[in-house]
Structure 1
Amino acid sequence: MRQNPSFVLASDDAVKRLIRENPWVTMVSHTDAGELVASHYPVVLDEAEEGIVLLSHVGRPDELLHELGRHELLVIVQGPHGYISPSWYDAKPAVPTWNFVVAHLHGTPEILGDAENLAVLDRLVDHFEERMPEPRRMNGTEANAAYAARIVSGTVGFRMRVTRYTGKNKMSQNRPAETVERIIHELEHGEHYASPELAREMRRSRGETV
């Protein structure tokens, strides 16, 4: 990903927030056969670890297609994004652009055994169910726990310590403050390309509390 000094996302904390808020990621491998393989799965952070450590799983046989654990994996995390019309700028000549926040994470996955894989699946379910009024936990009942134990063999869990990453947070930082305010207004209230999530991300980039 080409970098621009104005848009660099270089903070571990900022990348962690991006992952927490956008856990559906793209995983890309360059296999020994020279093929590119891409899959899409949810991830969570291993909050007990220092640095950026991902926990996830793939369904079989994706671990074979990716040759998971044999080489580096690229994990792409994408946050809010959207079209920015030049009509939201001033009267000067301009072209449209696209605002976005994204991070490319690199690391070699560590394959987990069945017991730890089951624990990761349990954590994934808890992470997403916790906001439900009546969460359905994997181990919430004896029947659920028995069912989960039976299906775990169809998945392969992994832990990935991120050894390097490239992040980009392009939120019109190169535009005058009054132009940025017009863009945010259109994203919050506009008729054609409204995106409240992107507007919040732009406000956060300006240091506002959102």
Structure 2
Amino acid sequence: MDFPSGTPADLARLVADYPLAWLVNHGEASFFATPLPLVAELDESGQVTALIGHCSRRNAQVAALQADPRAHVLVMGPQGYVSPALVSKPHWAPTWNFAVAAFAVRVTFDEDGTMPAVRRLTSHVEADQPRPWQIEEAGARLPHLMARIIGFRATVTATDARFKLGQEEDLPELREIIAAHPDPVLAGWMQRLNDDRLQAHAAAHRDETAG
């Protein structure tokens, strides 16, 4: 079954809300997978064109990617089981809703880009704090910390995004699921990805009632 791929804005938000992703190198003889927080770089149209991050210089994946820069970045967003207990329709079967993305990338390590990569990530994850932490606050530890890591840019060559968030459900069942699902974050994504048809249905219902 093909699942909806969402819009560029949906994908950008997925990466922004769930920055911890798996970086998986392409090599078969030397397989490495590292969980790393990444920040999306967007073009003028809002498409994700690159993922910016940093990792430990001691990570064996660095040498593997320098030898062969091909890799995949795997993003797991909101996900969860949807029980028939949430739905009043008889014989409704359970399902699993999710938002995920896989990026084929080419990784380039960048000595000069290490500090900008760390600043970019810090600014992103600290944005909601009353007083966002600044990297200079690491003080005397900063040079030692920076010496242990290296920044990289993962240029996106292909994207496979899947947003299975109730688009296949009839509206009465979808409304029940959104209202009763125990994960409010997942329910919020279902609401947003179906907002157009939910609003259209609500408007049609108001017109019928008024008539």
8 A contact 2:100–2:161 mirrored in 1:
yes
1:59-101: CA deviation from partner (whole Å, max 9, x where unpaired): 1322536712423211111211111012333443243111000
Greater radius of gyration (CA) = 2
The 1-side partners of 2:8 and 2:167 are apart by 20
Partner amino acid, structure 2, of 1:158: F
How many equivalent residue pairs?
A: 194
Q: 1:179 to 1:66 in 2, by over 3 A?
A: farther
In the alignment, does 2:141 pair up with 1:180? no
Q: 1:65 to 1:112 in 2, by over 3 A?
A: closer
Contact kept, 8 Å, 1:118 with 1:149, in 2: the verdict is no
C-alpha distance in 2 between matches for 1:23 and 1:149: 25
Equivalent position to 1:12, from 8, 11, 28: 8
Which amino acid is the alignment partner of residue 58 of structure 1?
C
**Structure 1 or 2: more helix by fraction:** 2
2:37 aligns with: 42
State the distance in 1 between where 2:63 and 2:104 align: 14
* Deviation (angstroms), 1:111: 0.7
Structure 2 contact 166–194 (Cα < 8 Å) conserved: no
Once residues 40 and 62 of structure 2 are traced to their aligned partners in structure 1, the CA distance between those partners, rounded to angstroms, is 24
CA–CA distance in 1 between the matches of 2:6 and 2:89? 34
Q: 2:95 aligns with which of 97, 100, 108?
A: 97
Q: Distance in 2 between matches of 1:116 and 1:195?
A: 38
Cα offset for 1:47? Answer: 4.5
Work out the percentage of aligned pairs sharing the same amino acid. 27
TM-score (norm 1): 0.82
**Aligned AA (1:154):** R
Give the TM-score of the pair, scaled to structure 2: 0.81
User: In structure 2, what is the equivalent of residue 117 of structure 1?
Assistant: 114
How far apart in 1 are the matches of 2:172 and 2:41?
40
35-44 vs 60-69, which moves further: 60-69
